[in-house]
Every structure is written in structure tokens, then in C-alpha cells.
Amino acid sequence: MTSAVSYELVDEIGVITVDNPPVNALSHAVRQGLHDALRAAQQDASKAILIICAGRTFIAGADITEFGKPPQEPHLPDLCSEIENASKPVVAALHGTALGGGFEVALSCHYRCALATAKVGLPEVKLGLLPGAGGTQRTPRLAGVRAALDLITSGNPIDAAKAASLGLVDHLVEGDLREAAMAWCGELVAKNAPRRKTSELRVETISDGVLAEYRSKLAKRARGQIAPFKIVDCVEAAMTQPFPEGMATERKKFIECMQSPQSAAMRHMFFAERKSARIRGLSKDTPQRDIGKVGVIGAGTMGSGIAMNFANAGMDVVLLEVSDEALSNGLQIIARNYVGGIKRGKFTEAEALERRERIAGTTEYSSLADADLVVEAVFENLGLKQDIFAELDGVCKKGAILATNTSYQDVNRIAAATTRPEDVIGLHFFSPAHIMKLLEVVRADKTADDVLATCMALAKKIGKTPVVSGVCYGFIGNRMLSHYGREAQLCVIEGATPEAVDTAMEQWGMAMGPLAVFDLAGLDVGYKARQGLPEDQRGDPRASRVADTLVEMGRCGQKTSAGFYRYDADTRKRTSDPEVQALIEREAEALGVKRRDIDSSEIVDRLIFALVNEGMKIIDEGIAQRPGDIDVVYVYGYGFPAFRGGPMHYGDAVGLDQVLARVNEFRQRFGADNWSPAPLLEKLVADGTNLTDWAKANCS
């Protein structure tokens, strides 16, 4: 045994206890300890063996600290085989979360009991992998092919009751898990229960059409990913091959996934998301302010969504608007959102009602006097925001955090409108705010450490993935987006159709093409932002000419059923519009742009390398704490494919020398105004290193 695993004989039951906090991960010490304990149990007087875990959970998966390192024996597939081939019945007792390799350990046992609160799952697909210790072979034998495919290709956990209904759990217990599991083991021994080897069960036979249907669904839902399709291959092998051959197929496909760039990218994102919550230079012991009541100013789509976040997390919210009519409209938006959530099964009617009742409306600033946090979410006008913060300065209690949801404006100038700039911070939510996971936390020059620490912790409480940004125009995400959008619109006016640009990016992996995204967000949003800038700061006029003309024609995107595309008023389905193509050609001629054929590879490189190049500048300026933070912003906020690992990881994967060569090519072809290589990019290429190694040395 090892320090992570203990063994004791209790009456007729050999009890193996895993104790590897915090989540009993399958470290080498745990695997070795299980191996040693199994051997000991098979040589003593025990008549059954119980595997149980201390702490808050059963084995919750692999040990992430071992990712990327050479595996050590005993390997998990061998350990699972050893469990299944034990000479005595082996029972797993589940609580908390039994995930990934932990659930594979349970599946290799002869019996499984669980607390009703337990959850089980095989989430490997979310790391670009598939279960590699029998998960694709044992799950269909117990639950059937369809249930196995749903569970493994989604990666989402299911509760114990659902698992029991599928045959993945044999017995639900209540109360003390150890006591209940021991009692059930005693019953199994008393009735001389046999060892049930999952590997010996027959897999149901289904038609080839079912597998074809799953592959067709995955082609849409998991576009561009390889792991989900290899999972289908493995489950098919469970149907068509004997267990040993099926295991060999699983192992082969697992290694292919593990060695793929996609899994490397998704594992990078796994770690990047966790690192993004850490604030460089800020002690973990930094005190936090208590947040109980939250005020939200502005009851439009964004403000209403922001209010829902806090209400859903159990906080009281006061939503402020300038008029009763605007306030009523905002509360109606919230009501519709909750109705939609009920229809999607996100919560019950009772839960929706409880959350709605936490949101009160007001037209008086005095109602915010006792708020612990106030989030301003009005439209992008610096003067208006400064006026609001001056008002809040006089109304809000001492110690209240004053946050702006601005997407572009200078948080330092907003803070300067108060006598307490240390209490001011940017909290940039992404629309729809009650759904999107990303939250940019913008640290102004005078933002207090405890305000920053409080907001990062609060982000987690309301279900967001927070990333710290410094102050600049557009912060991390929208600053980079301006370059991405510039190239998209330049490609359009130079010769590509809107459909060609969007198709190229969607086939590459983006959730939506850029022009469809602009229509979704509202073309008037960018139009108003540009109008608020001095003319010399509005960028290349060719890059906004078509969009601005569309807005001036009343075509603001989906909200007006017309933008770059036309939209069905009921279904929002988009269709191409010859009128837009005629407009593009007319404006190109007026600007003296000679149109040409632009292939998809040029479209992709121009848009993606514009992101990479600007991201390099953001890192060099210290706006982002680390390259991985930028990747988190783009994967969670802008539909960048996780299997590409975010723009900065992608630049490293392609090779920074190739990125720089392409950027220099674009500078020569299109001019230095739009294509100026980031100094950091040039430096890293000159030094023969990459961004990953640079970050290890400079972004601890």
C-alpha cells in the first residue's frame, strides 16, 4: 500500500480506502496503492472487497499534475483488468463525483452502489480524449449503445438515479456511505453473489443507421473535432469485436487522440482556465468584501442579463432605470428569459419564481444606498457613465464596489468621476450575460486589491470564468476583435462575399462567422462606438464602409431582420441578400478598391493572425497577465474553437516563425497601417523560442 490508499479487514469484508485529497485523483500512488491492496485482499480471509474513498468524493479522475509526463506502472487499463479479474466480488461505493478514470475503476468492479447525491461521467472528450481504460467497452455492455454514446460523446455527468436506471449503478443507498456499503456487501456475501464481469456481458446489436445518425449529429455539434468520432468507432468495436480486441481498439484510438494537436490544445485550455483565476502579485490571503445586495443600472438586454446572474446566485438585486416604461421593459425581458430557462429544463417554475422575486425595480438612485456592489450597464457614452458614477459616489455607502460594464471606455476616467477610485472596477459581461461564461475583470490604475480579489471570487460564485485585464480601448477581447473584424470586412470589400468569409471561418472551427456575429450583436453597436471616436482613430475607412452604410440604411442585423444577411423574423434563419452584394461592389468602386478572388486560406490567415499579432502586443504591454488568459477570453467569449487552444496557443502550434512570415507578407501586400508585427513576436522568432516557454519564464 501507499500513503494514499489503506486496507483493512472488517469482519468478512476487505475495505480499500483511497485518501488522496482534494479529489482522490488517480495519481501513481493511488494506482499502486489499489494494486497492492487488491493483492492483499485476495490473500486474506475476506469474502468480498469494498473500494471506497475518504473526503468529499470518489475518484474524480486523472491526476492533472501527471499530464504530459511518461506514465508509470501500474497503468490504469491494467489496474481495471486486475479489479475485474479479482478472485472475490469487488464493490465500488460512490459519492461525490466518479469521473473519467475514477468511473472506469467503478465500471471494472463487479457491483456498484452510490449515494443518491453522487454523479458519474466520462468527460475525457472535453480534453480531446476518449476513455482509455475500458470506458468505451464496459459502458455499452451495461447501459446500451445509445446511452453509452450520449454519455461519452457529451462528456456530461449524470446523477446516480439516472445511472441506476441505465444499469451503471446497481444499488442506491442513504445515510452514511461506509455503513450502508458495508451492509450491502454483507448481503452480497450472505447470498453468495457471483463475480459479475462486465467484460463478459453481451452488447446489444443496433443497426448501422444509428451509428450513422450519431456521426451526422456530431458533424454539426462537434464540427472539426476528432475525439467524438473516435468514441463512436470504439463503441462500434464494443458491438462488433470480442472484449480484448475492443480494448485494443480503444487503446489505439486513445493514443491517437492523446498525441493529436487537438488534445494538446484542449489540455492547454484546461490549465489556462484554472490559471486565469490567479492574480499575479496578489496574495491569496487578500481580504474580500461581503457582497449581499447588488444594484444594476440599465435594464436593457445586457443589464437585465447581469441582474439575473446575481439573483441566480442567491443575491438580492435592485434594477434601476430612468423611467417606469424602461424599467417595465427590463423586467419583462427577465421574465421571458426565465420562461425560456424553464422550457430548456434549466430550472423549475418554482426556482424561476424564487429568482425573479429577488430582483426589484426602481427609478431612484437612493434605492442603491445600501448596495454592496453596483454594476453600471448603460450604452457606451463616456460622459453618461461619468455622470452616473458621480451620482453613485454621493449615494452609495462607504466600501461599496462601483463597477462599469463598459466594453470600450477608459475605466480610469470613469473612476476619476468619483472621490473613491479605489472602489471602481470594470466588470465586462458578454451578451447574453445570463448565459455567456466569460467575465473580463478590468483593473484600473487605482483599483484596490480587495476589490479585485472580491470580484474574482464573485465571478466564480455567479458561474463565470474571470480573466483580469488592464485598461486599454476594448480591453483584451474587443481590442483584438477590432483587428479580426477589420480583416473580415476588408476581405468582403476586396472581393469575398459575406458567405465566403463566414463559411471559411466556420469550417475552420469558429462557432459563427464574423459577419454573422456582427449581425447578431447589432451593427449599430460598432457604428456608435466608431462615431464616438475622433476621426483619426476610427481605423481603415474601407473596413467599416459597408457596415456603416448598412446601419444608415436601417439594417442593423438580426434585430431589424436585415444586416449583412436577411433574417426570418420567426426563425432567425439567415439568407444571402443580393442587395448587400450590390452595395459591397458599389462601395468598393467608390473607394477605388479593385475586387479579386480571395481563397479560404487567405481569409483564415488574415483573421486569425490578426488576433495572434494583436494578442502579442497586449501581452507585451501587460494588459493581459499571461498568454493563456487571452486564450480563455477567446474560447469562452468569442466562439474560438477549444480544439485550437485559443489564438495564442494556435500561434505557437503553427510556429511563430510562420506567423511572422505571414504577417510580414500581409504588411507588404496591404500596408503597415494594418499589419505591423508585434515587437514580442519579432523578438521570440529572433530568439528561436516560443510563447509557451517565454510565458513560463515571465508569467509565473
> Domain check: are 676 and 640 in the same one?
yes
16 near 37, Cβ under 8 Å?
yes
Q: How many CB atoms lie within 10 A of CB 302?
A: 23
> Domain check: are 119 and 84 in the same one?
yes
> Domain check: are 379 and 493 in the same one?
no
Query: Looking at the domain assignment, is residue 405 inside a domain?
Result: yes
403 vs 428: CA distance, rounded Å: 9
In the Cβ-directed half-sphere of 568, how many Cα atoms lie within 13 Å?
Answer: 6
In CATH, what number is assigned to the domain containing residue 416?
3.40.50.720
Domain final position from 209, 235, 258: 258
**Identified catalytic residue from 84, 104, 273, 494:** 104
> Domain check: are 518 and 464 in the same one?
no
Domain final position from 199, 234, 258: 258
For 19, 275, 516, 563, the CA distances from 575, given in Å and listed in that order, are 58, 41, 11, 11
> Which candidate, 304, 363, 365, places its Cα nearest to that of 331?
304
- Position 1 scores a pLDDT of 63
Place of cell 421571458: 336
Cis peptide before 432, with omega less than 30 degrees from 0? yes
425 near 455, Cβ under 8 Å?
yes
In CATH, what number is assigned to the domain containing residue 191?
3.90.226.10
Residue 468, beta-bridge partner list: 441
Residue 9, beta-bridge partner list: 14
> Domain check: are 611 and 647 in the same one?
yes
Place of cell 422550457: 343
Query: Looking at the domain assignment, is residue 592 inside a domain?
Result: yes
CA 245 to chain CA centroid, Å, is 35
Query: Looking at the domain assignment, is residue 263 inside a domain?
Result: no
To the nearest 10°, the Cα dihedral for 283, 285, 287, 292?
A: 110
Query: Looking at the domain assignment, is residue 128 inside a domain?
Result: yes
Query: Looking at the domain assignment, is residue 287 inside a domain?
Result: no
- Position 224 scores a pLDDT of 92
> Domain check: are 450 and 541 in the same one?
no
> Which candidate, 102, 114, 109, 59, places its Cα nearest to that of 88?
109
Supply the range of the domain harboring residue 605.
477-698
> Domain check: are 58 and 171 in the same one?
yes
- Position 485 scores a pLDDT of 96
Task: Give the chain's domain count.
Answer: 3
404 vs 402: CA distance, rounded Å: 7
Residue 406 cell numbers, joined: 463598459
Domain final position from 241, 258, 275: 258
Place of cell 480579489: 453
> Which candidate, 123, 142, 155, 132, places its Cα nearest to that of 79?
132
DSSP letter, residue 101: H
Residue 15, beta-bridge partner list: 8, 50
**Identified catalytic residue from 12, 82, 124, 174:** 124
Residue 260 cell numbers, joined: 493529436
Per residue in 656-665, is it b (16+ CB within 10 Å) or e — as a string? beebbebbee
> Which stretches within 365-497 are classed as H helix?
382-395, 411-415, 449-461, 477-494
Strands, sheet with 373-376, edge to edge from the N-terminal-most edge strand:
359-362, 316-320, 293-297, 373-376, 401-404, 424-429, 438-442, 465-469
> Domain check: are 678 and 562 in the same one?
yes
319 near 360, Cβ under 8 Å?
yes
> Which candidate, 139, 163, 262, places its Cα nearest to that of 644?
262
Query: Looking at the domain assignment, is residue 47 inside a domain?
Result: yes
Residue 319 cell numbers, joined: 434594477
In CATH, what number is assigned to the domain containing residue 665?
1.10.1040.50
> Which candidate, 183, 215, 396, 186, places its Cα nearest to that of 293?
396
Query: Looking at the domain assignment, is residue 653 inside a domain?
Result: yes
For residue 438, the surrounding DSSP H or E stretch is strand 438-442
DSSP letter, residue 526: H
Query: Looking at the domain assignment, is residue 232 inside a domain?
Result: yes
CA quadruple 139, 144, 148, 151: dihedral sign:
negative
Whole-structure pTM value: 0.93
Q: Rg (Cα) of the chain, in Å, rounded?
A: 28
Contacts of 451 (CB under 8 A, 6+ apart): 289, 401, 422, 423, 424, 425
> Domain check: are 557 and 414 in the same one?
no
Place of cell 462599469: 404
Q: What share of the chain is helix, strand, coil (3-state, %, to 5)?
A: 55, 10, 35
> Domain check: are 464 and 488 in the same one?
no
Residue 181: φ, ψ to 5°: -65, -40
304 vs 296: CA distance, rounded Å: 8
> Domain check: are 445 and 558 in the same one?
no
DSSP letter, residue 395: H
Residue 557, beta-bridge partner list: 562
How does DSSP assign 326-341, residue by residue?
HHHHHHHHHHHHHHHH
> Domain check: are 432 and 530 in the same one?
no
Question: Tens of pLDDT along 281-332?
Answer: 899 899 999 999 999 999 998 999 999 999 999 999 999 999 999 999 999 9
CA 405 to chain CA centroid, Å, is 21
339 vs 348: CA distance, rounded Å: 10
> Which candidate, 125, 168, 170, 273, places its Cα nearest to that of 635?
273
Is 124 noted as a catalytic residue in this protein? Answer: yes
Q: What residues of the chain score a pLDDT lower than 50?
A: none
